[in-house]
Amino acid sequence: MPNSVSPANFFDLSGKVACVTGASAGLGRRAATVLAAAGAQVVGVARRADALTEWQEEAASANGGAPGQGTAIIAYDLSDRGGLEDLAKEVIQAFGAPDIIVHAAGINTRQDADDVTPEGWDITLNLNLATPFFLSQHLVSGMKARGWGRIVNFASLQSSRAFPGGLAYGASKGGISQLTRAMAQAWSANGINVNAIGPGFFRTELTAPVFSDPERAARNAKQTCIGRNGEPEDIDGPLMFFCSRASDYVTGQVLMVDGGFTAK
């Protein structure tokens, strides 16, 4: 039976350690900042060291601390599967084995079906699909030892919808939906809940080509039930739910955070 906890303390992550991939930009950066604000010690991982340093300073400013206090950064190309075991060891060295892993790193090559290259396919599937599994595999032992853990994958509208230029990306994000269920089946008996967030259209570096076309962005907003595209803060509540005690009996689920885009 789970230990009782006051609803007022559901979202307190004090004493927890979180690893967030893709922490240098977009929703990954937002996720890393939010988890730090909730009291977690956060290890941000991404390819660009300069952008990670900017995030670390931003998190310190937002949370009233000194840069580096309660946060750590690791510059690493997450599409390089061969180094993930060493990366996991470096993550653990920062604050100990993580209780929470958020897999927000991603790439969309936006190649039409006839133009998909083996190189584009491999980097997309490695970063978007293989890395969330293999990095988790290297880190779950600490969660198992504690009997508690949270893994949050990032799905997409393209987990269930086909968009032009999204063949490899859609294949990877369709895979994330099933990977989330399979990881939940494998590890939830050890207290490790695995879920996924499926963002709609949020203005990030990854979606810059979409938002550079105002008419297209307006069409996407109209497709939602709410009538607008997503803002970074719209991810905060769903993320905190999946990373905290509030989701103790929720695992293997994909929550679409899309303003009702997929409801229409």
Is 5 a domain residue? no
Query: What tens digit of pLDDT does each residue of 67-93 get?
Result: 657 999 999 999 999 999 999 999 999
Number of H helices, E strands in the chain: 9, 7
Q: How confident is the model at residue 167 (pLDDT cuts 50, 70, 90)?
A: very high
Phi–psi pair at 220, nearest 5 degrees: -65, -40
1 pLDDT exceeds 60? no
> How many domains does the structure of the chain reveal?
1
Amino acid 36: pLDDT: 96
Mean pLDDT of all residues in 230-253: 97
Is 1 a domain residue? no
Annotation says 169 is catalytic: yes
Q: How confident is the model at residue 9 (pLDDT cuts 50, 70, 90)?
A: confident
Mean pLDDT of all residues in 198-204: 92
User: CATH number, domain at 234?
Assistant: 3.40.50.720
Is 4 a domain residue? no
Q: Catalytic pick from 169, 187, 202, 241?
A: 169
| Residue numbers of the domain that contains 170 | 13-263
Mean pLDDT of all residues in 160-181: 96
103 pLDDT exceeds 60? yes
Average pLDDT, the chain: 94
Is 8 a domain residue? no
Task: Tell me the pTM.
Answer: 0.94
Query: What tens digit of pLDDT does each residue of 134-157 get?
Result: 999 999 999 999 999 999 999 999
Please report the DSSP string for 81-112 in residue order.
GGGHHHHHHHHHHHHSS-SEEEE---------
Report the percentage of the chain scoring pLDDT > 90: 87
166 pLDDT exceeds 90? yes
* Residue linked to tokens 């990854």: 206
Q: How confident is the model at residue 65 (pLDDT cuts 50, 70, 90)?
A: low
Contact 42, 68 (CB under 8 A): no
Q: How confident is the model at residue 2 (pLDDT cuts 50, 70, 90)?
A: low
Is 6 a domain residue? no
